[in-house]
Amino acid sequence: MSRKSNSGSSRVPISGPASTTRPDSAPSADSDAQGACKSTPTAVIYCEGNFAKLDGKTANGLIRHSQSYRILSVIDSDKTGQDAGLVLDGKPNGIPILADLAAAMAHAGSTPDHYIFGLAPASGLLSPPQRDLVLEAMSHGMHIVNGLHEFLNDDMEFVAAGVANRVTIRDVRKPAEKKDLRMFSGRIAEVTCPRIAVLGTDGAIGKRTTATILTRALKERGLNAVMVGTGQTGLIQGARYGIALDAIPSQFCSGEMEASVVAAFEGESPDVIIVEGQGALSHPAYLTSAFILRGSQPHGVILQHAPGRKFLGDLSEIAMPTPASEINLIQTFADTKVIGLTLNHECMTEVEIDAAILLYELELGIPATDALTRPTERLVDMVSLAFPTLAKKLTAGLQ
């Protein structure tokens, strides 16, 4: 999560690179721009004052890709009247940004099925005005999707509103009961396919988006690639396997991470598993990268970095780590190897992106690319170079 955005950028600040491919599955004639079928439940996303900013990363992710919900509009009065895709990625997608819930309902023509709280503030809590807005949505008969650390099903006011209005509340981050949480068991050794984690040098830097683009690109080349989500946005988007890792008691984090990877392996018999990263191993506040490395035990790591970001997103007094220092930390902490570097291009021009890719490749001796602005075959190359057995399974015709 992150609260601060960078200024002075030639691009819109983003929490991760926008996908130029269709993650996971290309939409059919019965699908919308996010990959959801027309029969999928509809939703509006609340992201007041933060769409296309770091704290709006849940909304940003859902605009780029959503299998669970068909997104009708985004609520952000600061950007009223604009196209969400154009604001976020420079490409229109037909999803309008509207001023408030009334405008969103008028645009929908009927009551949307779901109201998604699309903010990811550092506090993880609702403000008093935001509570009122959620209750208003419930009063209209909208189900609630909540990705915060504050669980609305534990709040009697929301429980009562749910009963009165016959709507449900989905607390995405709420973990299972402690008696049902799993400790690390060693079963990760049973997962025989390559495992690749997409980690980063900061929070809200684009790890999930890069992981999604990579998974899609590998599928396009004929591999059975499965992504394991580790945060609330991926779960809201519709990830079949994963957990909200930062909401689980630390004693069980490695075990739950391991169990999610094992479930993906047993359920899909994949050629490769891509694990979404969280935070950064060097980050003083977000420690989930450590559990991802311990629990999933990846054979390879792709590192996401924002060259234009000078300080950590939530800690403006702490300088960003360099890719070299983060790579050294990762490879010292875990028995793995960093196989590639991907860039978040916030605050960068096209010329600067090209220069950064070249310089990092020379400095680090690994492939580098921008998952948004460069061909996705470069991501595939990272994997095929590191895992020759996967390279032999690749088919031609990457789109």
Query: pLDDT of 268-304, one tens digit each?
Result: 999 999 999 999 999 999 999 999 999 999 999 999 9
Claim to verify: residue 167 and residue 270 sit in the same structural domain: no
CA dist 43 → 73, 105, 267 (Å): 8, 10, 29
Claim to verify: residue 166 and residue 188 sit in the same structural domain: no
pLDDT, position 32: 55
Claim to verify: residue 315 and residue 340 sit in the same structural domain: yes
Task: Look at the block and give the residue holding tokens 């209750």.
Answer: 135
pLDDT, position 21: 31
As a whole number of angstroms, the distance between CA 304 and CA 19 comes to 15
Identify whether 12 is part of a domain: no
Which of 106, 140, 171 is a domain's end point?
171
3 state SS of 349: coil
Q: How far is CA 294 from the centre of its chain?
A: 20
As a whole number of angstroms, the distance between CA 73 and CA 117 comes to 12
Per cent of the chain over pLDDT 90 is: 86
As a whole number of angstroms, the distance between CA 62 and CA 45 comes to 9
pLDDT, position 112: 98
Give per-residue pLDDT as tens, 353-368. Answer: 999 999 999 999 999 9
pLDDT at 7 over 60: no
Domain that holds residue 384: 180-391
3 state SS of 352: helix
Mean of the pLDDT values across residues 17-29? 34
Strand partners, 117: 46, 146
pLDDT at 205 over 50: yes
Strand partners, 70: 42
Claim to verify: residue 245 and residue 117 sit in the same structural domain: no
Judge if pTM exceeds 0.85: yes
More confident residue, 35 or 319: 319
180-185: Cβ within 8 A, 24+ apart: 181/248, 181/249, 181/252, 181/255, 181/256, 182/252, 182/255, 182/256, 182/258, 182/259, 183/251, 183/252, 183/254, 183/255, 184/254, 184/255, 184/258, 184/294, 184/295, 185/255, 185/258
Strand partners, 311: 319
Claim to verify: residue 189 and residue 315 sit in the same structural domain: yes
pLDDT, position 124: 87
DSSP per position, 179-239: GG-----SGGGG--S-EEEEEESSSSSSHHHHHHHHHHHHHHTT--EEEEB-SHHHHHHT-
Mean of the pLDDT values across residues 226-255? 96
pLDDT, position 35: 60
Mean of the pLDDT values across residues 87-107? 96
Write down the mean pLDDT value for the chain.
Answer: 91
pLDDT at 93 over 60: yes
Is residue 210 packed enough to be buried (19+ CB in 10 Å), middle (13-18) or exposed (0-12)?
Answer: buried
Identify whether 153 is part of a domain: yes
More confident residue, 10 or 264: 264
The pair of structure tokens assigned to 104 is 């969103």
Claim to verify: residue 319 and residue 384 sit in the same structural domain: yes
CATH, residue 58: 3.40.50.720
As a whole number of angstroms, the distance between CA 153 and CA 170 comes to 8
Strand partners, 25: none
